[in-house]
């Protein structure tokens, strides 16, 4: 883990401390040791990942919009008297590198319209799809692209569609 990513993680934790305490300057007597301890534990627990921070600025609005649509979509189906759902299981071959990118993808997918990740095994994400008639595959591919950019990796080309 390099110095820069430790520093940025430390800043993030310090920012959270600031949020929690409402910016009280006197709180840093406890805040500094607490942030340091949390940082040490977090380094021990969580391996470094090359997150591209500025990509978040693009990812967040995309994610918020899609998850809002996800909520609208499922709410509509739940309230509609006919309950238009046609669920199916779908095995999506992941092209992201193993580790945090895949986990991030699995968690993101669960909040997007009509998809719920149900199993994450090596390079394969089993997705429960609420309505198999929709274009969920294009959605999954789009998310994968964006997650790849977020983690500064390229998708493996073994599937031939890159």
List residues binding other proteins (CB under 8 A): 13, 16-23, 27, 30-31, 33-35, 37-39, 41-42, 45-46, 64, 67-68, 70-79, 83, 85-89, 100, 102-103, 106-108, 110-111, 113-114, 116-120, 126, 128, 130
Q: Tell me how far, at minimum, the Cβ of 19 lies from other proteins, in Å.
A: 4
| Residues 90, 106: Cα–Cα separation, whole Å | 13
Compare residues 88 and 154 and give the one whose CB is closer to other proteins: 88
Q: Tell me how far, at minimum, the Cβ of 45 lies from other proteins, in Å.
A: 4
Compare residues 70 and 144 and give the one whose CB is closer to other proteins: 70
Q: Tell me how far, at minimum, the Cβ of 14 lies from other proteins, in Å.
A: 10
Compare residues 107 and 162 and give the one whose CB is closer to other proteins: 107
Q: Tell me how far, at minimum, the Cβ of 140 lies from other proteins, in Å.
A: 15
Burial class (CB in 10 A: 0-12, 13-18, 19+), 139: buried
| Residues 25, 137: Cα–Cα separation, whole Å | 50
């Amino acid at each position: 883990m390099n110095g820069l990513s430790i520093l940025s993680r430390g800043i993030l934790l310090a920012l959270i401390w600031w949020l929690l305490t409402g910016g009280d300057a006197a709180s840093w007597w406890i805040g500094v040791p607490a942030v340091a301890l949390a940082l040490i534990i977090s380094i021990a627990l969580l391996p470094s990942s090359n997150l591209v921070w500025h990509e978040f600025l693009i990812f967040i609005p995309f994610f918020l919009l899609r998850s809002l649509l996800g909520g609208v979509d499922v709410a509509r189906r739940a309230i509609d008297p006919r309950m238009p759902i046609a669920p199916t299981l779908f095995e999506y071959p992941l092209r992201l590198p193993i580790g945090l990118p895949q986990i991030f993808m699995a968690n993101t997918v669960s909040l997007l319209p009509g998809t719920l990740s149900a199993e994450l095994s090596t390079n394969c994400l089993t997705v429960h799809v609420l309505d198999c008639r929709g274009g969920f595959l294009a959605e999954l591919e789009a998310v994968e692209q964006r997650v790849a950019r977020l983690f500064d990796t390229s998708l493996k080309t073994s599937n031939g569609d890159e």
